[in-house]
Chains A and B, each alone.
Chain A
């Protein structure tokens, strides 16, 4: 199990069932029973998923008599995904510039031979 906080969050979100649980919790708190209901796996399996999400800091369990609903820690979720999203946006900007360069190559009616890689000074 990865030690650093961001990796724990990525690990927690790497599983599709856990991503689905997070998505549902983003709409409101839910108990283990409520969360487990739509899935084909046992309540224990969902309980284990919830534990992974708790260990990653994405979910907390509030004390409410015996129900202990699960609660999404939205700030943690937002921060982790924001990192990746910023990097993705910078990559996308770069590749849009590459799109333009590739379009220019078409307009220039490039010659049939591919360019030799060259060294600059």
Chain B
């Protein structure tokens, strides 16, 4: 049993619409990499619930594409993008779009660092194409109540 804290850290950049996530894993780098490239593994963790996650395409190679769907309350949401660069053992660069809003696209860059002792650090940055897109990206998957909360933030700041 590990004594390391396994906690996702997140920062939002102030000057560009970028969100950065850092997370450490008690697993060697090649396994973490494989968990991202092998669709049979990806389906088991990427979506909110395994049973609702459906991978249509997952060609995780440079120039490949992906598309997956996950459902909630009987509605399916589709996500797709291209793998711009996939380089073992440590780099995946891809685009990301929610098909419900296809004009918005995020550029995501994932690096894996070997920490030794069979541990790995993942750093994932998502650069969205506008600040409005960044806010929608942060809000994605969260209930309508939070969107309304954001409108209230605007109101509060206008006071």
| Chain A residues within CB distance 8 Å of chain B | 2-8, 10-11, 14, 56-57, 73, 75-76, 79-80, 82-84, 86-88, 90-103, 105-106, 110, 114-115, 117-121
A79 & B61 in contact (Cβ 8 Å cutoff):
no
Chain A neighbourhood of B46, CB < 8 A: 94
Tell me the complex Cα distance, A92–B17, Å: 21
A99 & B25 in contact (Cβ 8 Å cutoff):
yes
Q: Does B27 contact A (CB under 8 A)?
A: yes
How many interface residues does B have (CB within 8 Å)? 57
| Chain B residues within CB distance 8 Å of chain A | 6-10, 12-15, 17, 19, 21, 23, 25-27, 30-35, 37-39, 41, 44-46, 48, 50, 55-61, 64, 86, 88, 122, 131-132, 135, 138-139, 141-142, 146, 149-150, 152-154, 156-157
Jot down 16 A-B pairs with beta carbons below 8 A, ordered by A. Answer: A7-B14, A76-B157, A83-B135, A83-B139, A88-B10, A90-B141, A91-B21, A95-B8, A99-B27, A101-B41, A105-B31, A105-B41, A117-B61, A118-B38, A120-B58, A121-B57
Tell me the complex Cα distance, A103–B146, Å: 34
